[in-house]
Chain A
Amino acid sequence: MTEPERRRTDRSPWNWLLLVPIVVPLLTFLYNRDEPRIGGFPLFYWLQFAFILLGVGTTTLVYQMTKRRRP
């Protein structure tokens, strides 16, 4: 396999999306409440669990959109 001559880069506008799951979980005013509860879980807990899905979804999307095509 020969090394590609073109300049490689990780730059992509999709990368900016990664900021969303970094910033949102730090905004305590979004989730610092007890009500409404879901399945017995206060909002403070279920919403922060939901941020895990936000993180997974975002990194998966960015990975798929910026995949380097192999020669």
Chain B
Amino acid sequence: MSEHLTEIIVFTVLFLLVSGMGFVASRWRQPKDMAHLDEWGLGGRSFGGWITWFLVGGDLYTAYTFVAVPALIFGAGAAGFFAVPYTVIIYPLFFLILIRLWSVSHRHGFVTPADFVRTRFDSPTLALVIAITGIVATMPYIALQLIGIEAVLKTMGVTGESTIARHLPIIVAFAILAAYTYQSGLRAPALIAFVKDTLIYIVILVAIIYLPYKLGGWNAIFDAADAKFQASPAPNDGITLNANNQVQYFTLALGSALALFLYPHSITGVLASKNRDVIKRNMSALPAYSLLLGLIALLGYMAIASGVKPLPGAKPGTVDSNTVVPVLFDQQFPSWFAGVAFAAIGIGALVPAAIMSIAAANLFTRNIYKEYLRKDATHAQEANVAKITSLVVKIGAVACIVFLDPQFSIDLQLIGGVIILQTAPAVVIGLYTRWLHRGALIAGWAAGMAIGFWMLWQIPNAATGRKHFGGSAFPLSEFGLDSTKTIYVGFVAVLVNALVAVIVTLVLRAASVQEGIDGTKDDDYFADEGDARLEQQRTTPVENVSST
């Protein structure tokens, strides 16, 4: 432990500094009335371009980025680089979709995607389905953030013998996080995101200049990786793709991109911005983080070139591949800078964890509590229920980490991706047309979930010896095709979902089943800051209305 003392001190100081900021954040851009879900859960819907860039960037590019993607590259090579095309296509894909969602949400005061679905399709049941899917998909994602912190703590030698002792640091860290999220709401991660992202940009800039210099240049790094994969018996690794995993590569990139902005926490970040222009400009500015992600991914190859051995896993005989990057930093950087890098990862986990718990709390409050438990809830009651729910969600996430095998962090997230994709027909297609019947959307969702789970159940993981839920690459031969190729589960599931939704729509329409009344108007999808109707509803006045 003593050899890591400098790292631990730097890490702790930065962590405490950020925690202080989290508590102070409740006074930042202070609202007239904090007891309103728009304030606690959406930061007053008032964030401009810069805050949104830091907030959404800090929200989408999580601890998963820093730990799991390089770990995947370290283990499998090129297949792990899907993270780059994935985060390139997201922005042009959602450029037009998000501004429609923003407009209609502001006009009607929607806080969650399920709120929108409820009004659009006049169906509390469909909204409930969307809300529960969102909450279930978010839970493992929050757990994933804890794994990021744990990988760092483990590298610094902060471990214990018993289960409780080993997990005590993250329990303390999450207790602090829970306390300031409770108090400050979305303002806390928005303010912390500035520190988190600045630290990460510094660390990665230093890493990609200093490490290749120490390791003999990029050529040597890629050659070392190539040599490792040539020597390994695994069929699908290498520094480029092979004939079998290209379909998996692009379907995973496309499926993950479609899923990302369906996650409740991404939508929370988007709805918190003050106008449509902020969103559009961010679609051009956010790819700066994709560049960062690509560079971080390559840390996996630097770890190979540097001869990193991942630390042992929880069970004897296993390794914890998530420790690859922390161990690389520990070996190569002076200890004070390794401490800064570890703090960047640790704080990097807090921002998304806070936003995710807020998003899950918003879903519960709006689409379960207000819909089914207390229809006449006041704004203050809503805000209060959301604050308490955010605490419960965090306790659930900590329980996930204490009781589940952390080795599967990336797969847990991929399962969440498959689930959340099943909300795409209702939310995304619903923004453009009401043609799909509400009953058919529920049927399609059920079909997509069923086939998604069945496929995930079928996938073994040779590396860890598990028979089920071993990954998201489904062999096409299971469909009876004569092929050795694999495809991304979520992609197949959402296609089945859409197909079932179309067929059932035709059936229900032929049977003249009631479709409900659309609560939105055409013009709602174009509303913007400055519209009289929209300004009346704001709980925080926006200072400079005509800034652009």
A residues neighboring B (CB under 8 Å): 1-3, 7-10, 15, 18-22, 25-29, 32-34, 37, 39-42, 44-45, 48-49, 51-52, 54-56, 58-60, 62-63, 68, 70
Residue of A nearest to B249 (CB): A28
- Number of residues on chain B facing chain A (CB within 8 A): 50
Given A3-B533, A8-B526 in contact, is the A55-B96 Cβ separation under 8 Å?
no
B531 and A40 form a contact (CB under 8 A): no
| B544 at the binding interface (Cβ < 8 Å) | no
* A14 → chain B closest CB, angstroms: 11
B217 and A40 form a contact (CB under 8 A): yes
By secondary structure, the A interface counts as helix
A59 and B91 form a contact (CB under 8 A): yes
Residues of A within 8 Å of B93, CB to CB, are: 18, 22
Of B170-178, B263-271, B276-284, B351-359, the segment with at least 4 beta carbons within 8 Å of chain A is B276-284
Instruction: Among A9, A51, A59, point to the contact of B85 (Cβ < 8 A).
Output: A51
B88 and A21 form a contact (CB under 8 A): yes
Instruction: Among B81, B219, B280, B291, point to the contact of A45 (Cβ < 8 A).
Output: B81
Return the 6 tightest CB-CB contacts between A and B, nearest first.
Answer: A40-B218, A25-B85, A8-B526, A40-B219, A18-B92, A26-B250
Residue of A nearest to B247 (CB): A28
B281 and A63 form a contact (CB under 8 A): yes
Given A2-B532, A15-B96 in contact, is the A55-B287 Cβ separation under 8 Å?
yes
Given A18-B95, A26-B89, A40-B221 in contact, is the A49-B291 Cβ separation under 8 Å?
yes
Distance A59 CA – B533 CA, assembled complex (angstroms): 29
B530 and A7 form a contact (CB under 8 A): no
B residues neighboring A (CB under 8 Å): 78, 81, 84-85, 88-89, 91-93, 95-96, 99-100, 212, 217-222, 226, 239-241, 246, 249-250, 253-254, 280-281, 283-284, 287, 290-291, 294, 298, 523, 525-526, 528, 530-533, 535, 545-546, 548
Residues of B within 8 Å of A59, CB to CB, are: 91-92, 95, 280, 283-284
Instruction: Among A25, A33, A37, A41, point to the contact of B89 (Cβ < 8 A).
Output: A25
Residues of B within 8 Å of A25, CB to CB, are: 84-85, 88-89, 253
Instruction: Among B100, B221, B254, B531, point to the contact of A26 (Cβ < 8 A).
Output: B254
Q: A3-B532, A41-B222 are in contact. List 5 more A-B contacts (CB 8 A).
A: A21-B88, A28-B249, A42-B222, A51-B85, A54-B88
Given A45-B298, A49-B84, A63-B284 in contact, is the A22-B92 Cβ separation under 8 Å?
yes
A70 and B287 form a contact (CB under 8 A): no
Distance A22 CA – B241 CA, assembled complex (angstroms): 20
A7 and B523 form a contact (CB under 8 A): yes
Residues of A within 8 Å of B530, CB to CB, are: 1, 70
* A70 → chain B closest CB, angstroms: 6
Give how many A-B residue pairs fall within 8 Å (CB-CB). 122
Instruction: Among A37, A48, A55, point to the contact of B81 (Cβ < 8 A).
Output: A48
* B6 → chain A closest CB, angstroms: 32
* B140 → chain A closest CB, angstroms: 26
* B127 → chain A closest CB, angstroms: 25
Distance A21 CA – B84 CA, assembled complex (angstroms): 12
Distance A20 CA – B88 CA, assembled complex (angstroms): 11
26 A-B residue pairings within 8 Å (CB atoms) = A1-B530, A1-B532, A2-B532, A3-B531, A3-B532, A9-B526, A15-B96, A18-B93, A19-B92, A21-B92, A25-B84, A25-B89, A34-B226, A37-B219, A40-B219, A40-B220, A40-B222, A45-B222, A45-B294, A48-B294, A49-B84, A52-B88, A52-B287, A55-B88, A56-B287, A58-B92
Distance A1 CA – B81 CA, assembled complex (angstroms): 49
* A61 → chain B closest CB, angstroms: 9
B533 and A28 form a contact (CB under 8 A): no
Distance A26 CA – B89 CA, assembled complex (angstroms): 9
Residues of B within 8 Å of A20, CB to CB, are: 92
B89 and A55 form a contact (CB under 8 A): yes
Residue of B nearest to A4 (CB): B531
Residues of B within 8 Å of A26, CB to CB, are: 85, 89, 250, 253-254
Residue of A nearest to B78 (CB): A44
B217 and A56 form a contact (CB under 8 A): no
